[in-house]
Amino acid sequence: MTTNPTRGDEGPLRAFPGGESRVTVVGAGELDAVPGLAQGRLGVSDHLQPAVAAVDTWRAMPERGAMSRFRLLAACLLASAPGPVSAEKPSVLLVTLDTVRADRMGFLGSARGLTPHLDRLAAGAVVFERAYAQAPMTMVSHASLLSGTYPPFHGVDDFGVPLGTSVPYLPDLLRAAGYRTGAFVGSLILEPEAGMAAGFNRGFDAYDAGYHVRRGSEDRYRSVERRADEVVDRALRWLSGRGTSPFFLWVHLFDAHAPYDPPAPFAARYAKTPYDGEVAYVDRAAGRLFEGLEKLGGLESALVVIASDHGEGLGDHGEDTHGVFLYDATIHVPLVIKLPRGQSAGARVGSRVRLVDVAPTVLQAAGVSVPGAVQGESLFPVLGAARGDRPAYAETTYPSRAFGWSALASWRADRFLFVEAPRRELYDLRADPGATRNIADRRALVTERIGAELAAFRSRTRAGGAAGDRPRLDPETLERLASLGYVAGGPPPAPSGIDPKDKVGLANDVHAAMEAAENGDAARAVSLLKGVVAKEPRMQLAQMELGSALSRQGRYADALAPLRKAIELDPNALIAHYEMGSALLQTGQAETAAEHFQVVVKAMPGFGEARFALASTQARLGSLGPAAENLRAVLEKDPRHFRSNLLLGRVLTVQGRFADALPYLQRAVEIEPLSSEARHFLADDYEQLGRGTDAQGERIRAHELERSRAP
Nearest of 521, 509, 576 to residue 553 by alpha carbon = 521
SS3 413: strand
Question: Residues, the chain, total?
Answer: 711
Distance CA 165, CA 407 (A): 26
Nearest 10 degrees: CA dihedral of 487, 489, 493, 499?
20
Give the pLDDT band (50/70/90) at residue 87.
low
Give the pLDDT band (50/70/90) at residue 243.
confident
Torsion-angle region of 374 (φ positive above 0: left; ψ -120 to 50: alpha; else: beta):
beta
Distance of CA 64 to the CA centre of its chain: 53
Helices (H), 254-357: 266-269, 274-295, 328-331
Give counts: helices (H), strands (E), the chain: 26, 13
pLDDT of 108 over the 90 cut: yes
Distance CA 281, CA 267 (A): 9
Q: What percent of the chain has pLDDT over 90?
A: 74
64-68, 382-386, 397-401 — most confident range: 397-401
Bridge-based pairing of strands 303-308 and 126-132 is: unpaired
pLDDT at 601: 95
pLDDT, average across residues 681-694: 96
pLDDT of 241 over the 80 cut: yes
pLDDT of 80 over the 90 cut: no
pLDDT at 709: 86
What is the chain's mean pLDDT, rounded? 85
pLDDT of 215 over the 60 cut: yes
Give the pLDDT band (50/70/90) at residue 213.
confident
Distance CA 299, CA 509 (A): 44
pLDDT tens digits, 281-315 = 999 999 999 999 999 999 999 999 999 999 999 99
pLDDT at 375: 96
CB atoms within 10 A of CB 156: 30
Give the pLDDT band (50/70/90) at residue 221.
very high
Nearest of 167, 676, 210, 664 to residue 375 by alpha carbon = 167
Distance CA 41, CA 401 (A): 53
| Residue 103: C-alpha distances to residues 304, 305, 325, 326, 330 (Å) | 21, 18, 17, 16, 11
Angle between helices 642-654 and 676-688 (to 10 degrees): 30
Question: Domains of the chain, with CATH numbers?
Answer: 11-80 (no CATH), 92-461 (3.40.720.10), 472-600 (1.25.40.10)
Nearest of 411, 465, 493 to residue 143 by alpha carbon = 465
Partners of 417 in the beta sheet? 412, 427
Nearest of 659, 680, 657, 654 to residue 668 by alpha carbon = 680
Helices (H), 148-246: 151-154, 170-176, 228-240
What string of DSSP letters covers 35-96? TT-STT-TT--GGGHHHHHHHHHHHHS-GGGHHHHHHHHHHHHHHHS---SSSSPPPEEEEE
Q: What is the largest CA-CA distance in the chain?
A: 107
What string of DSSP letters covers 431-449? T-TT-----TTTTHHHHHH
pLDDT tens digits, 117-160 = 999 999 999 999 999 999 999 999 999 999 999 999 999 988 77
Nearest of 507, 488, 511 to residue 498 by alpha carbon = 507
CB atoms within 10 A of CB 564: 15
Helices (H), 553-607: 556-569, 574-586, 590-603
pLDDT tens digits, 5-48 = 443 333 322 232 222 323 222 232 322 222 222 222 222 233 33
Distance CA 390, CA 466 (A): 25
pLDDT tens digits, 447-482 = 999 999 999 999 999 865 444 444 555 555 555 454
Bridge-based pairing of strands 92-97 and 303-308 is: parallel
Distance CA 78, CA 582 (A): 64
